[in-house]
């Protein structure tokens, strides 16, 4: 590489890092993941080490963060607040230890204070005569922002130290962070209000600390863990160090801080020597997803303060400490295309096809985009550079778009107008974000679930046909639709794995028996979205014939009890698909059910009465009781409301009974219900 190229590359990296520093530390709006920042910083450090003549005084390698926000007053740190260098592997850690021993001119091992690397915002807390007087951000390491009023709102930070054994001036340094539970609650509130949520807990914590109104900060439920001590001294001269108070061990100093009432991370541990580091690292990595706070690595510090002082500092970090980072959970990559998958319930999900990237320990090439609302929220287009995140075993997700890298030929993501599997029409119900295929009985993607539902106990109740057998029949190509079930022969089934002649014969007999059903069960078995048992029964009782149900329009369907606008649309759309009609007509030719006897009002004494069944009914059973009530015109609901007329309470009745009593609804025992039916 020529000198000109080296100078240009260093200048380019410096400009990028300065830009990202401003976004990260000043605006709290980072556009690239930490791993990209770390990569650039390491490249810059390597170039400046190899070519020191090109290192400039304003290089980001000489700085810690960004300048203080003008909205806050400034605080000059009496001792600089430095950041940490990083290692990314066991080999790099061993090289770090070797450098320490070389500098100390000793082969002796030393104790290590081990801590999780909290993903929050570094702050300095100043106590004078035991009273909290000031809090500041790290800022550029020399000058930070005065965030005293906001930090006062953090419940875990005491406004007065415990006991009496402390220096006149004590500066405690640590991390303000937002617990995972608080972060999730904050984002849920933002979504409800139609506002944009935070990308991660670190951004949420930083944004909360930089609120000009401390009342807002107080509502954010921030937390704090101390990780060290800054300036310690007498309040008068401002320079003296109280040597009698300070422990000579970093770990013991943390314990001193804890004894004064400041929280210390419970996972902090004192290791006997550097060889125990890898085990601690792996242990914290395993715990990571279960911790109540976000971390992105571990921190290891030489425990002996005398050794720390001997090792000293470089421009931006102490030589005696380093962060051992976890494999990146976030990375940059490019959205190359979007495919659309059809789920077992017909939900059409956009799947991002990414330029393969190694993140979170695996190579990721796909990520779900969920639905149109999520695409709109991200503002994402095909060919965009995106931040991809993978935490533990969690499915990879796109966190955000790096808009400044969007190419001129970026393409809008367009959802299909028909199902990409069966070409049936698609629809999105009012109030839902998910687009769905309407070809339920025909669509290959929904095939197994449609047949399982068709044969289920509450539908046709086909004896001998369980879910696993349905999957086997579909996988072996013996059935494609519910109608194909009735074309099976004993020979077809008996030749399958783990199916003997007797089991095959029982299945065929079960299918033969299932041909005789009721209109309500047949309608329910079709699996029309949101048409459950009660709605299917209401449709049968209202229209009396299947042909009338098929040909009904939305307005007519909405005259049926419990059928609203959405259910009516689902029914009309189902029968509007030629594929569904083809399968339904096959089934009509095979199956039969008795005509529905039209009863007079005199024969329906419970008409317009709503019943709810709860608890265990020992004499009739829930299904028998429901059928008996419906035969007399009653409506049987699953939930108690002000419109409920009677609650039938069996043994061990629970919350429904309590609610019915609160609403003043008549409560019947099982015996009283039977007496009512008999009368």
Q: What is the pLDDT of residue 630?
A: 81
Tens of pLDDT, residue by residue over 350-391, are 999 999 998 877 889 999 898 888 899 899 999 999 999 886
**Domain CATH number, residue 317:** 3.30.470.30
Question: Has residue 241 got a pLDDT over 80?
Answer: no
Of 313-317, 433-437, 516-520, 525-529, minimum mean pLDDT range: 313-317
In 3-state terms the chain splits into helix, strand, coil percentages (rounded to 5) of 40, 20, 40
pLDDT band at residue 523 using 50, 70 and 90 as cut-offs: very high
Assess if residue 412 is contained within a domain: no
Q: Catalytic residue among 63, 117, 452, 569, which?
A: 117
For the question of whether the overall pTM of this predicted structure is more than 0.75, the answer is no
Assess if residue 191 is contained within a domain: yes
Do 101 and 121 sit in the same domain of this protein? yes
Do 183 and 240 sit in the same domain of this protein? yes
Token duo for residue 657: 């009974």
Evaluate whether 591 touches 517 at the Cβ level (below 8 Å): yes
**273, 308, 325 — which closes off a domain?**
325
Q: Which residue has the higher pLDDT, 57 or 509?
A: 509
Assess if residue 221 is contained within a domain: yes
Tens of pLDDT, residue by residue over 407-431, are 999 999 999 999 998 888 898 877 7
Tens of pLDDT, residue by residue over 308-335, are 999 999 877 899 999 999 887 888 999 9
pLDDT more than 70, % of the chain: 95
pLDDT band at residue 26 using 50, 70 and 90 as cut-offs: low
pLDDT band at residue 240 using 50, 70 and 90 as cut-offs: very low
Assess if residue 390 is contained within a domain: yes
**292, 325, 358 — which closes off a domain?**
325
CA dist 644 and 203 (Å) reads: 49
Q: What is the pLDDT of residue 494?
A: 87
**Domain CATH number, residue 44:** 1.10.287.610
Do 227 and 150 sit in the same domain of this protein? yes
Nearest to 566, CA basis, from 529, 536, 532, 591: 529
Q: Which residue has the higher pLDDT, 305 or 628?
A: 305
**341, 371, 405 — which closes off a domain?**
405
Query: What average pLDDT does the chain have?
Result: 88
Assess if residue 415 is contained within a domain: no
CA dist 228 and 63 (Å) reads: 20
Do 57 and 83 sit in the same domain of this protein? no
CA dist 207 and 6 (Å) reads: 37
Do 115 and 152 sit in the same domain of this protein? yes
**Domain CATH number, residue 348:** 2.40.50.140
Q: Do β-strands 646-649 and 666-668 pair in parallel, antiparallel, or remain unpaired?
A: parallel
**Domain CATH number, residue 639:** 3.40.50.10190
CA dist 125 and 417 (Å) reads: 58
CA dist 332 and 340 (Å) reads: 23
Three-state secondary structure of 424-479: CEEECCCCCCCEEECCCCCCHHHHHHHHHHHHCCCCCCCCCCCHHHHHHHHHCCCC
Q: Which residue has the higher pLDDT, 242 or 360?
A: 360
Nearest to 276, CA basis, from 97, 68, 476: 97
Do 459 and 398 sit in the same domain of this protein? no
Average pLDDT over residues 85-97: 92
Assess if residue 595 is contained within a domain: no
Is 599 a catalytic site residue? no
Assess if residue 664 is contained within a domain: yes
Do 251 and 395 sit in the same domain of this protein? no
Q: What is the pLDDT of residue 394?
A: 66
If one counts the domains in the chain, the total is 5
Average pLDDT over residues 378-405: 87
Q: What is the pLDDT of residue 163?
A: 83
Question: Has residue 437 got a pLDDT over 50?
Answer: yes
Q: Which residue has the higher pLDDT, 512 or 617?
A: 512
Assess if residue 68 is contained within a domain: no
Tens of pLDDT, residue by residue over 208-237, are 888 888 888 888 889 999 999 999 986 444
pLDDT more than 90, % of the chain: 48
Average pLDDT over residues 540-558: 93
CA dist 556 and 549 (Å) reads: 9
Beta-bridge partners for 125 = 135, 172
Question: Has residue 176 got a pLDDT over 70?
Answer: yes
Q: What is the pLDDT of residue 237?
A: 47
Do 178 and 277 sit in the same domain of this protein? yes
Do 155 and 47 sit in the same domain of this protein? no
pLDDT band at residue 654 using 50, 70 and 90 as cut-offs: confident
CA dist 565 and 554 (Å) reads: 7
CA 438 centroid distance within chain: 28
pLDDT band at residue 125 using 50, 70 and 90 as cut-offs: very high
Question: Has residue 55 got a pLDDT over 60?
Answer: yes
Do 143 and 265 sit in the same domain of this protein? yes
pLDDT band at residue 622 using 50, 70 and 90 as cut-offs: confident
Which domain range does residue 622 map to?
Answer: 601-678
Q: What is the pLDDT of residue 243?
A: 56
Q: What is the pLDDT of residue 212?
A: 83
Residues 6+ apart with CB under 8 A from 186: 178, 197, 198, 204, 220
Do 124 and 182 sit in the same domain of this protein? yes
Do 609 and 657 sit in the same domain of this protein? yes
Token duo for residue 652: 């061990």
């Amino acid at each position: 590489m020529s000198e000109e190229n080296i100078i240009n590359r260093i200048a380019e990296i410096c400009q990028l890092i300065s830009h990202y520093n401003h976004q990260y530390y000043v605006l709290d709006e980072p556009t690239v993941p930490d791993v990209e920042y770390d990569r650039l910083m390491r490249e810059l450090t390597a170039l400046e080490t190899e070519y020191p003549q090109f290192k400039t005084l304003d290089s980001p390698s000489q700085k810690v963060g960004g300048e203080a926000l003008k909205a806050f007053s400034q605080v000059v740190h009496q001792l600089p607040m430095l950041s940490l260098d990083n290692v990314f592997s066991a080999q790099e850690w061993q090289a770090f230890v070797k450098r320490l021993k070389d500098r100390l001119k000793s082969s002796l091992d030393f104790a290590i204070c081990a801590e999780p690397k909290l993903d929050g915002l570094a702050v300095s807390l100043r106590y004078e005569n035991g009273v909290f007087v000031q809090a500041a951000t790290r800022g550029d390491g020399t000058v930070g922002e005065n965030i005293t009023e906001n930090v006062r709102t953090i419940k875990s930070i005491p406004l007065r130290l415990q006991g009496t054994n402390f220096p006149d001036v004590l500066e405690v340094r640590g991390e303000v962070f937002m617990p995972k539970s608080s972060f999730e609650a904050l984002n849920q509130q933002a979504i409800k209000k139609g506002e944009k949520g935070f990308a991660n807990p670190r951004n949420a914590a930083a944004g909360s600390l930089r609120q000009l109104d401390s009342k807002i900060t107080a509502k954010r439920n921030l937390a704090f863990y101390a990780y060290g001590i800054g300036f310690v001294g007498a309040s008068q001269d401002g320079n003296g160090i109280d040597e009698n108070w300070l422990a000579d061990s970093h770990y013991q100093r943390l314990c001193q801080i804890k004894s004064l009432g400041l929280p210390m991370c419970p996972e902090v541990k004192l290791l006997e020597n550097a060889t125990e580091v890898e085990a601690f690292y792996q242990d914290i990595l395993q715990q990571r997803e279960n911790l109540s706070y976000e971390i992105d690595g571990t921190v290891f510090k030489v425990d002996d303060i005398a050794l720390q002082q001997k090792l000293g500092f470089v421009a931006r970090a102490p030589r005696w400490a380093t962060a051992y980072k976890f494999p990146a959970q976030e990375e940059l990559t490019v959205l190359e295309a979007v495919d659309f998958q059809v789920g077992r319930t017909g939900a059409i999900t956009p799947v991002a096809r990414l330029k393969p990237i190694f993140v979170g320990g695996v190579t990721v090439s796909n990520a779900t985009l969920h639905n149109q609302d999520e695409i709109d929220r991200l503002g994402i287009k095909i060919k965009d550079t995106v931040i991809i995140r993978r935490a533990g075993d969690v499915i990879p997700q796109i966190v955000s778009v790096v808009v400044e890298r969007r190419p001129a030929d970026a393409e809008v993501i367009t959802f299909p107008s028909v199902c990409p599997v069966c070409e049936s029409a698609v629809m999105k119900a009012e109030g839902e974000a998910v687009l769905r295929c309407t070809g339920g009985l025909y669509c290959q993607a929904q095939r197994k679930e449609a047949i399982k539902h068709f044969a289920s106990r509450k539908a046709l109740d086909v004896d001998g046909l369980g879910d696993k057998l349905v999957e086997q029949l579909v996988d072996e190509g013996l059935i494609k639709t519910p109608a194909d079930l009735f074309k099976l022969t004993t020979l077809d089934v008996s030749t399958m794995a783990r199916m003997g002649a007797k089991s095959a014969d029982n299945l065929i007999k079960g299918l033969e028996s299932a041909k005789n059903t009721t209109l309500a069960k047949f309608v329910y078995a079709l699996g029309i979205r949101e048409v459950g048992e009660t709605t299917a029964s209401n449709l049968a009782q209202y229209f009396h014939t299947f042909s009338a149900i098929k040909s009904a329009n939305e307005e007519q369907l909405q005259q049926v009890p419990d059928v609203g606008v959405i259910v009516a649309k689902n029914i009309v759309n189902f029968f509007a698909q030629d594929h569904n009609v083809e399968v339904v007509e096959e089934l009509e030719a095979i199956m039969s059910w008795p005509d529905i006897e039209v009863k007079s009002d005199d024969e329906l004494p419970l008409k317009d009465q709503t019943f709810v069944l709860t608890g265990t009914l020992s004499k009739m059973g829930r299904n028998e009781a429901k059928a008996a009530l419906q035969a007399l015109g009653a409506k049987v609901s699953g939930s108690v409301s002000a419109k409920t007329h009677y609650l039938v309470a069996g043994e061990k009745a629970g919350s429904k009974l309590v609610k019915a009593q609160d609403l003043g609804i008549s409560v019947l025992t099982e015996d009283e219900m039977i007496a009512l039916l008999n009368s």
